[in-house]
Amino acid sequence: MQEVRIQALAPERFAPLVGAEQARRLEEASAALRSRLGSATVWNVNSTGAGGGVAEMLQPLLAYARGGGIDARWLVIEGDAEFFRITKRLHNGFHGGAGDGGPLGEAEHRHYTEVLRANAEELLALVDRGDIVLLHDPQTAGLVPAMAGTGAVTVWRSHIGSDRSNDLVERSWSFLRPLLSEAAGFVFSRSEYVPSWLQGDARVHVIAPSIDPFSAKNQDLAPETVRSMLGHVGIVADGGIAHPGFVRRDGSPGRVDHLADIVRTGPAPGPDVPLVVQVSRWDRLKDMQGLMEGFAEHLVAGSPAHLALAGPNVSGVADDPEGAEVLGECFDAWRELPHAARARIQLVCLPMSDIEENAAIVNALQRHASVIVQKSLAEGFGLTVAEAMWKATPVLASRVGGIQDQIVDGEHGLLLEDPTDHAELGRALRRLLDDPEGARRLGAAGRRRITERFLGSRHLVEYAELFTTLLDARSAPA
């Protein structure tokens, strides 16, 4: 297991954004947890230190917890390629999909539990009585049994789920369920994700995800900085001369140095060309390919807009074995497009060697975009949606998963009823591109929505209250 280093950040930073009342709640909740924990630790365990939504949230949340005097720490499990193939199958299953179509039988269960047994040995050497162990997602669920005798409070959080159950969802649950029985708490990102076998169980809690408004991903950037970052990496032409700088989490200066790997014919679009953008991991459920094909069918004629599909460099996300394959499929589909469409659509792999540099480029893309699309076929929460709304950029996203909790259609953005309907996608995109004033209003409402509901301060309060309650319950006489 690897430990990810977390520095401390002052939770007081939230006060000017969220107001005195929310700031006071955060202070009280932290104080209560601090006194309940004493010298105990809150361990977080997941399967990657960078890439994807969970890593994105853990970094700031744990930093604010540490800044609030709580010893929050982060461990990343180790597994081999077969382990991550199995957990990706589970992940796809929880989204109701078949993934690579492989089995989840006894052999897979044996391999999964063996890999986690090796990880558990290291975890057991660290965990102490009175600690909290928060295990994230299917990759870590199999650590629950090993925690039983430690005197720690073990909570399992699933960041994913399906709006409706089907055989594949049930198959994933049958795989994990026997391992989860001894958890003291379960956290889901939405109530729809609570499986039938946990309905009515008092151990279940619902806590929505959040973004960090001050991170390299979400901090304010001047328009000229945005332009120079995108010019530097090669997505937009004529970057200008501003220094493509940002502020790192530790307060030190950062700069965008690396370039993006870009597939495109012809020159980059100029800074004034409307740019439609989707930022995602290269995952079939994000449907980059569908967006590309829908854009080619319905936007290339009669609109000056360009499309950028941006994802991480495919070697950069350790727990996502399908990235290279999905990028390859997108590339093959791009080559099949008519020339006029290819000249307007770019596939972008963002550098991942410096995660804050990567975040700053995503920030610039989300600010520069005329529309941010998230055309997912399934989605746990969809942090990319919250990130774009926070920047007041108009969003068009599928009515799936947690996206529905973020956007009320026509109020904070537009929802696609059927994410596979290219004509609907085309109409909605045109509506936003042809009516900049209406799109601006949706963007502004989006920012208010995120401020009210989806910033880290609210998330920290809910975690602190939950942990305090669980520790109280643990020490109460039977």
The DSSP H or E segment spanning 60 is: helix 53-67
Q: Are 162 and 132 in contact (CB under 8 A)?
A: no
39 Cβ contact partners less than 8 Å away, ≥ 6 residues apart:
71
53 counts as binding ligand UDP under rule CB under 6 A:
yes
350 counts as binding ligand UDP under rule CB under 6 A:
yes
CB of 283 to ligand UDP, least distance (A): 7
For residue 278, what are the β-bridge partners? 309
Instruction: State whether residue 134 is helix, strand or coil.
Output: strand
Query: Looking only at residues 374 through 393 of this chain, which bind ligand UDP when binding is defined by CB under 6 A?
Result: 380-384, 387
How many whole angstroms separate alpha carbon 15 and alpha carbon 193? 32
Answer for which of 40, 359, 365, 369 binds ligand UDP (CB under 6 A) is: 359
Q: Judged by CB, which is closer to ligand UDP: 127, or 229?
A: 229
97 counts as binding ligand UDP under rule CB under 6 A:
no
How many whole angstroms separate alpha carbon 80 and alpha carbon 222? 43
Q: Judged by CB, which is closer to ligand UDP: 15, or 318?
A: 318
For residue 395, what are the β-bridge partners? 372
Q: Judged by CB, which is closer to ligand UDP: 14, or 282?
A: 282
Answer for which of 104, 362, 450, 455 binds ligand UDP (CB under 6 A) is: 362
311 counts as binding ligand UDP under rule CB under 6 A:
yes
Alpha carbon separation from 456 to 74, 131, 192, 204, 361 (Å, rounded)? 17, 22, 22, 21, 21
The count of residues in the chain is: 478
Judged by CB under 6 A, the stretch of 48-56, 246-254, 260-268, 409-417 that binds ligand UDP is 48-56
DSSP 268: P
Binding residue count for ligand UDP, defined by CB under 6 A: 19
CB of 459 to ligand UDP, least distance (A): 14
Q: Are 265 and 276 in contact (CB under 8 A)?
A: no
Q: Judged by CB, which is closer to ligand UDP: 209, or 269?
A: 209
56 counts as binding ligand UDP under rule CB under 6 A:
yes
Judged by CB under 6 A, the stretch of 98-106, 161-169, 264-272, 274-282 that binds ligand UDP is 274-282
Q: Judged by CB, which is closer to ligand UDP: 50, or 152?
A: 50
Instruction: State whether residue 162 is helix, strand or coil.
Output: coil
Judged by CB under 6 A, the stretch of 182-190, 333-341, 355-363, 417-425 that binds ligand UDP is 355-363
Q: Judged by CB, which is closer to ligand UDP: 130, or 402?
A: 402
Answer for which of 11, 49, 52, 99 binds ligand UDP (CB under 6 A) is: 52
Judged by CB under 6 A, the stretch of 10-18, 330-338, 357-365, 461-469 that binds ligand UDP is 357-365
Answer for which of 47, 48, 87, 358 binds ligand UDP (CB under 6 A) is: 358
DSSP 49: S
Q: Are 95 and 105 in contact (CB under 8 A)?
A: no
Residue number of the CB atom closest to ligand UDP: 53
DSSP letters of 389-455? HHTT--EEEES-TTHHHH--BTTTBEEES-TT-HHHHHHHHHHHHH-HHHHHHHHHHHHHHHHHHSB
Judged by CB under 6 A, the stretch of 50-58, 244-252, 404-412, 418-426 that binds ligand UDP is 50-58
Answer for which of 120, 144, 279, 291 binds ligand UDP (CB under 6 A) is: 279
Q: Judged by CB, which is closer to ligand UDP: 145, or 419?
A: 419
Q: Judged by CB, which is closer to ligand UDP: 73, or 95?
A: 95
Q: Judged by CB, which is closer to ligand UDP: 68, or 382?
A: 382
CB of 452 to ligand UDP, least distance (A): 19
How many whole angstroms separate alpha carbon 467 and alpha carbon 153? 9
H helices within 102-198, ranges in order? 106-126, 138-141, 167-180
Q: Judged by CB, which is closer to ligand UDP: 303, or 451?
A: 451
CB of 376 to ligand UDP, least distance (A): 8
292 counts as binding ligand UDP under rule CB under 6 A:
no
DSSP letters of 203-231? TEEE----B-TTSTTTS---HHHHHHHHH
Q: Are 61 and 159 in contact (CB under 8 A)?
A: no
The DSSP H or E segment spanning 332 is: helix 323-336
CB of 381 to ligand UDP, least distance (A): 5
Contacts 24+ apart (CB under 8 A), 240-248: 240/271, 244/360, 246/216, 246/219, 246/221, 246/356, 246/360, 246/363, 247/216, 247/219, 248/216, 248/356
CB of 98 to ligand UDP, least distance (A): 17
The single residue listed with the structure tokens 């350790």 is 318
351 counts as binding ligand UDP under rule CB under 6 A:
no
Return residues touching ligand UDP (CB under 6 A).
52-53, 56, 217, 279-281, 311-312, 350, 358-359, 362, 380-384, 387
